[in-house]
């Protein structure tokens, strides 16, 4: 017997997998100097936090300006999305993961939270991004 909870669990698992695949694809492009993957999956009203910025960026236009200033400048020798977890409700999903990368034998470790919204066209889009450094050095 198929129950509502069984169907919801199957749909949730499929949505979670889709979101992780989208994020991994965008990360692969990012790590090769191309920020377009994230721009393509960000909503018009996206907000963005980054430890190297003094304030939150509001909207796709501001995010595009930042990312275009970084185009072709970010490359990694190796990277990995660690322990991704998607928490879902009907039209919202929160993806959290650690991101480890290596550039010229220097390892970088990050925390990331992405909030996705299911849009009217059936596509998931990022509406909030928050990056932070894992165990930042205290000065």
Looking up residue 109, the CATH number of its domain turns out to be: 3.10.450.50
Give the total number of structural domains in the chain: 1
Look at residue 87 and tell me if it is in a domain: yes
Residues shown for the chain = 139
pTM of the complete model: 0.88
More confident residue, 8 or 15: 15
**Domain residue limits at 52:** 4-133
What percent of the chain shows pLDDT beyond 90?
82
pLDDT at 17: 94
Instruction: Judge whether 138 lies within some domain.
Output: no
The CA distance from 33 to 72, in Å, is 4
Q: Quick one: which of 109, 78, 108, 82 has its CA closest to 96?
A: 82
pLDDT given for residue 11 in this prediction: 78
The strand ranges marked E within 65-105 are 78-88, 92-103
- For residue 139, is it within any domain? no
Residue 7 has pLDDT above 50, yes or no: no
Q: Please report the pLDDT score of residue 10 as a whole number.
A: 65
Token pair recorded at residue 94: 């929160």
What is the pLDDT at residue 135? 76
Q: Which secondary structure element, helix H or strand E, spans residue 25, and what is its range?
A: helix 4-30
Q: How confident is the model at residue 137 (pLDDT cuts 50, 70, 90)?
A: low
């Amino acid at each position: 017997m198929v129950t509502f909870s069984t169907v919801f669990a199957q749909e949730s698992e499929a949505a979670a997998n889709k979101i992780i695949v989208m994020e991994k694809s965008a990360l692969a492009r990012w790590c090769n100097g191309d920020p377009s993957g994230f721009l393509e999956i960000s909503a018009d009203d996206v907000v963005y936090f980054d430890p190297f910025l003094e304030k939150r960026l509001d909207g796709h236009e501001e995010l595009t300006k930042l990312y275009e200033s970084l185009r072709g400048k970010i490359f990694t020798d190796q990277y990995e999305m660690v322990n991704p977890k998607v928490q879902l409700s009907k039209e919202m999903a929160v993806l959290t993961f650690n991101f480890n990368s290596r550039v010229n034998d220097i390892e970088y470790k990050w925390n990331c939270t992405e909030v996705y919204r299911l849009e009217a066209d059936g596509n998931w889009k990022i509406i909030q991004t928050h990056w932070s450094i894992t165990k930042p050095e205290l000065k």
